[in-house]
Amino acid sequence: AAGVIQSPRHLIKEKRETATLKCYPIPRHDTVYWYQQGPGQDPQFLISFYEKMQSDKGSIPDRFSAQQFSDYHSELNMSSLELGDSALYFCASSLVGEQFFGPGTRLTVL
Amino acid sequence: KQEVTQIPAALSVPEGENLVLNCSFTDSAIYNLQWFRQDPGKGLTSLLLIQSSQREQTSGRLNASLDKSSGRSTLYIAASQPGDSATYLCAVRTSGTYKYIFGTGTRLKVLA
């Protein structure tokens, strides 16, 4: 069965650089969620999209933005990166409730 | 504001024991609640989803119950195995929102 695809799997950036994370949801899923998980922490909700429209927003910094495209894939853009942005970033998709998570992108900011 | 807590934070048991993991939430107006397991450095695997109108869900050795009035869900694991060792997380979606709030997780270790 198709799963959620995230790319890249690993990313290393310098402070103040920009990063773009991509998420390809399971086909026919109508909702996409983005989460940030710091070391030893639980996942923190960032933002969600339902049918390509932003549906909810969590503790997402103003330096971050996201969108969902016509083919339903989503991108999380992160600018002016800080050391504290180093984390695992997960994307999840759902149809009628149950979330399925991708493998995550590990972002390291040096 | 929805807050989700899980107890215990960590649990170590011998193989074969039956376990109960607890998840508490402050706002009972939930849309659904989902249980996950996460292995170190890995993604989250969905275990069970309980809709607001349901009282429990079962999958194999796992059973999850939901009591909205008391703001609680429990995950019951029967006949635990070393392969069950992982962190277990519950996530709550409040009605009228499209976001999930995660609990702090229970780190489970099943000893052979």
Q: Mean pLDDT for each consecutive 10-residue tract of chain A (110 residues)? A: 93 98 95 95 95 93 95 96 97 91 96
Picking from B49, B46, B52, B5, the residue whose alpha carbon sits closest to that of residue B26 is B5
Contacts of B108 (CB under 8 A, 6+ apart): B10, B11, B12, B13, B19, B21, B80, B84, B85, B86, B87, B88
Residue B83: per-residue pLDDT:
96
**3-class state of residue A26 by DSSP:** coil
Contact call for B31 and A45, based on CB within 8 A: no
Confidence of residue B45 (pLDDT cuts 50, 70, 90): very high
Compute the nearest-CA separation of B16 from chain A (Å).
Answer: 28
Return the percentage of chain B with pLDDT > 70, whole number: 100
Please answer yes or no on whether A56 and B99 come within 8 Å at the CB atom: yes
Task: Please report, rounded to a whole number, the percentage of residues in chain B having pLDDT higher than 90.
Answer: 96
The verdict on B33 touching A (C-beta cutoff 8 Å) is no
The rounded Cα B23 to chain-centroid distance in angstroms is 6
Structure tokens at B14: 């011998």
Record: contact B49-A101, CB cut-off 8 A: no
Check whether B67 has a pLDDT greater than 80.
Answer: yes
A19-24 and A74-78 strand pairing: antiparallel
Instruction: Give the mean pLDDT of B37-64.
Output: 95
Buried/exposed code over B69-101 (b: 16+ C-beta within 10 A; e: otherwise): eebebbbebeebeeebbbbbbbbbbbeebbbbb
A contacts of B101 (beta carbons < 8 Å):
45
Which pLDDT score is estimated for B64?
Answer: 97
Q: Measure A48 CA to nearest chain B CA, in Å.
A: 7
> What is the mean pLDDT of the segment spanning B70-89?
97
What is the least distance, in Å, from the CA of A45 to any CA of chain B?
Answer: 7
Whether residue B40 is preceded by a cis peptide bond, meaning omega within 30 degrees of 0, is: no
* B105 three-state secondary structure: coil
Q: Give me the DSSP letters along chain B.
A: ---EEEE-SEEEEETT--EEEEEEES---EEEEEEEEE-TTS-EEEEEEEETT-SEEEETTEEEEEETTTTEEEEEE-S--GGG-EEEEEEEEETT-S-EEE---EEEEEE-
Residue for token pair 């590990």? A106
Please list every residue in chain A whose beta carbon sits closer than 8 Å to the beta carbon of residue B99.
33, 45, 48, 56-58
Tell me if residue B51 falls in helix, strand or coil.
strand
pLDDT in tens, B87-98: 999 999 999 999
Q: Is residue B17 scored above 90 in pLDDT?
A: yes
C-alpha angle B102-B103-B104 in degrees, rounded to nearest 5 = 120
**Distance separating alpha carbons of residues B89 and B78, to the nearest angstrom:** 17
| pLDDT number for residue A59 | 87
Q: What is the pLDDT of residue A96?
A: 76
Q: Is B103 at the interface with chain A, CB within 8 A?
A: yes
pLDDT at B25 over 90: yes
Give A90 to chain B, closest Cα distance, Å.
8
Band the pLDDT of B41: cuts 50, 70, 90: confident
Q: Hey, are the CB atoms on A42 and B42 less than 8 Å from each other?
A: no
Q: How far apart are CA B67 and CA B46, in angstroms?
A: 20
